[in-house]
Every structure is written in C-alpha cells, then in structure tokens.
Chains A and B, each alone.
Chain A
C-alpha cells in the first residue's frame, strides 16, 4: 500500500525567504504525485502535480517541485515566500489498481510566515 511522509509538522519562515517542504512517498510503481494547499476554512487547492516526463514541475503561485525517484521524494519549493502563503500544505500520492484509484495524503505541514 502507498504512503506519504511529511517530516515537518510546522515550519516558520520570514517573508521573502526561500521555502522547501519535504515529502517522501512509498509506492511500488511510478506514482502520481501532488501538492495541495489548504487555507483556514477553505478546500484543498491543487498547487502542482507530477505524472511523468520532466521531473521538475512548475505550479501556481510560484511553487515548483522536483521528483527524485532515487530518494522517493517530491519536495516543494518557492524562492521567495509571501505572507499570503501561510497555510497548510499536503503532499499526496495517487495509486491506480485496476479501475480503482485513490489519493493518499501526508499529515501536512503548517507554514507560518513572519513579517
């Protein structure tokens, strides 16, 4: 069965600083990988996704993530954080088994941005 680990429960950065959120996954085949962001009272919004091809994927709001098969990682990065980026971030892996498909999420990383 697939699983996702987000090692950092809470990260605090200063506005304008760079950001990297870690994600490690476990899955037997080539995974579908996703990063979602959840602001208080809001639904999950997709930031970016990886299916195949170029291992560096660009997303919305200036985020990018790099798929590293050898490390089973899919870390999320942003060069300069804005105060509005404060939210909870979830990494997820999608697994297909026959006609069935499900997303498995990590426990999330809460991002605080200091002015």
Chain B
C-alpha cells in the first residue's frame, strides 16, 4: 500500500514569507507526527496528533509554527515569517495508534530552504 507522502519535496522561500508543508499519512493511521531534521542532526520532535487534535505540541520552537489536521487525516505544517534558521528537512510520520507499541512510518520529507 501507499506510504506516507509529503508535498512539496523541496520548497525555497524568502525570509519573512509564509509556507505550508503537507503530509498525507498512511490510510487508517490515527497518529501523526512532525519532526524537523537540521543538517548533521537527527530528527527533532515538533508535534503529535491523535486524530484531529494536537496531543503534544511541546516541540514547536515558537509561535511562528502551527500545524493542523482538521479531518484526522492530512496534516499541514504552517510557518509564518520564515527565518533562515528554519531551513531544514521537515519529516512527517504516521502510526496506527499512538504510543510506543505502534511503529512510526516516515515520509521522504520536505526540504525547506529560506534565503
């Protein structure tokens, strides 16, 4: 079956602009996660959705970052007033349920470059 998909695969924007990154999870997966991977680092947790609600958004770095999942499937990560430091690969993962017993399956990521 289809895996996690993310669009766009690459996004180049200018400092101060607004961007949206999209994640399509595996069908039927109720849990969805966003991570950010900077160059030379491992992925860092941003936010976790269980269904439509954000169960844990403790990893969002500041209020310029926001994510939604209105129908419990597709999720959008929104970044306002982008800064050069936001440049990274943004990874999305989904799992059948929340919690450690459910394996997270990752998408290919969106590479965001802020000029």
Q: Tell me, in angstroms, the Cα distance from A104 to B100 when the chains sit together.
A: 12
> Digit string of A30-53 for contact with B (CB within 8 Å is 1, else 0)?
001000100001111110010100
A101 contacts B42, C-beta separation under 8 Å? no
Given A42-B108, A43-B109, answer yes or no on A100-B100 (Cβ-Cβ < 8 Å). Answer: no
Determine whether B13 belongs to the interface, using a CB cutoff of 8 Å to chain A: no
Instruction: Say if the beta carbon of B115 comes within 8 Å of chain A.
Output: no
Contacts A43-B91, A43-B106; A103 near B55 (Cβ below 8 A): no
When the two chains form their complex, are residues A46 and B43 in contact, meaning their CB atoms are under 8 A apart?
Answer: no
Q: A99-B50, A100-B48 are in contact. Are A41 and B108 (CB under 8 A)?
A: yes
**Partner of A96 from B3, B33, B99, B108 at Cβ < 8 Å:** B99
Given A102-B48, A107-B40, check contact A49 B103 (CB 8 Å).
yes
Interface residues of A in 86-114 (CB under 8 A from B): 90, 92, 94-96, 99-108
Measured in the bound complex, the distance between the Cα atoms of B4 and A95 in whole Å is 23
Number of interface residues of A (CB under 8 A): 26
Question: B2 an interface residue at 8 Å Cβ cutoff?
Answer: no
Residues of B within 8 A of A99 (CB): 50, 55, 98
Known A-B contacts A43-B4, A43-B108, A43-B109; the reply to A100 vs B42 at CB < 8 A is no
Q: Is the CB of A104 within 8 A of B41?
A: no
Q: Cβ of B42 and Cβ of A96 under 8 Å apart?
A: no
- Contact bitstring B92-106, A, C-beta under 8 A = 1, else 0: 010000111101111
> Which parts of A38-89 form the interface with B (CB within 8 Å)?
41-46, 49, 51
- Kindly report which residue of chain A lies nearest to residue B43, judged by CB atoms: A105
Known contacts A42-B108, A99-B98, A100-B55; A106/B103 CB under 8 A: no
Q: Which residues of B contact A36 (CB under 8 A)?
A: 106
